[in-house]
């Protein structure tokens, strides 16, 4: 049985090397982006990649009415979809190179930088586009981040990032005037004709002291 290919821990002269940056560079990165999952910041227009995406959880839910629905009406009007929720289980290693040069260099280590990047995206509330193997999501925002830190993650990072979608909708706006005849200029209200008051109406006007009576 073949032992399989062996890759050096530090790559300095490989085609995929990023300016001599120390760290492991998987050779498949020379032709393809790492994995099937990435986060795109629509504000800064930066795309973030991860060393490993261990698990992606997709959650789609619809709310269906519990009340009786009249026969003959559209039942789809009594169902609406809740925002999608995606959970990423991400792994980062301090022994890897960055697919995008310098992307995880702001902190003391790559793992710390990756955590701080996700925290900054959450704090800035930037609209994110999430690409996964199963689906593509827009208008995503980081809901919560869970990153346990212990002896097993001393030189790496394992964190859960929950992203929740905001569903947008367009609402038709209508200008409303205090004068109904001006709300819709195209409305033909016809000609208003003056009529003489009845005897009862005239008597009430006299008692009220209306001018001209």
Residue of 21, 24, 49 whose CA lies nearest to 118: 49
Q: CATH for 33-67+74-165?
A: 4.10.410
Tokens linked to 166: 């905001």
Q: Where are the domains of the chain?
A: 33-67+74-165
pLDDT digits (tens), the chain, 213 positions: 444 433 333 333 343 444 445 555 555 555 555 557 899 999 999 999 888 899 999 999 989 888 888 888 887 878 888 899 999 999 998 888 887 878 888 888 899 999 999 999 999 999 999 999 899 999 999 999 999 998 888 888 999 999 999 988 877 666 666 665 555 556 666 676 777 778 787 778 777 776 665
b/e for 101-120, b at 16 or more Cβ within 10 A? eebbeeeebbbbbbbebbee
Using CA atoms, how far apart are residues 104 and 176, in angstroms rounded to an integer? Answer: 54
The rounded Cα 95 to chain-centroid distance in angstroms is: 32
Task: Please give the model's pTM, rounded to 2 decimal places.
Answer: 0.63
Tokens linked to 178: 């205090």
Residue of 21, 8, 14 whose CA lies nearest to 102: 21
Round the CA-based radius of gyration of the chain to a whole number and report it: 32
Using CA atoms, how far apart are residues 78 and 113, in angstroms rounded to an integer? Answer: 46
């Amino acid at each position: 049985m073949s032992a399989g290919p062996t890759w050096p821990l530090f790559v300095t002269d490989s085609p995929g090397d990023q300016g001599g940056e120390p760290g492991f560079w998987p050779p498949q990165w020379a032709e393809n982006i790492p994995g099937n999952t990435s986060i795109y910041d629509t504000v800064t227009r930066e795309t973030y990649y991860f060393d490993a995406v261990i698990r992606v959880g997709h959650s789609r839910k619809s709310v269906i009415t519990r009340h009786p629905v009249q026969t003959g009406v559209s039942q789809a009007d009594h169902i609406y979809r809740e925002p999608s929720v995606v959970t990423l289980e991400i792994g980062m290693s301090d022994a890897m190179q960055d697919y995008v040069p310098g992307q995880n260099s702001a902190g003391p280590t790559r793992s710390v930088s990756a955590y701080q990047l996700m925290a900054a995206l959450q704090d800035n509330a930037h609209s994110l586009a999430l690409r996964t193997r199963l689906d593509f999501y827009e208008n995503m925002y980081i809901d919560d981040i869970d990153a346990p830190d212990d002896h097993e993650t001393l030189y790496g990072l394992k964190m859960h990032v929950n992203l929740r979608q905001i569903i947008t909708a367009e609402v038709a706006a209508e200008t409303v005037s205090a004068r109904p005849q001006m709300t819709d200029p195209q409305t033909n209200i016809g000609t208003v004709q003056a009529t003489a008051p009845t005897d009862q109406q005239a008597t009430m006007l006299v008692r009220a002291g209306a001018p001209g009576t």
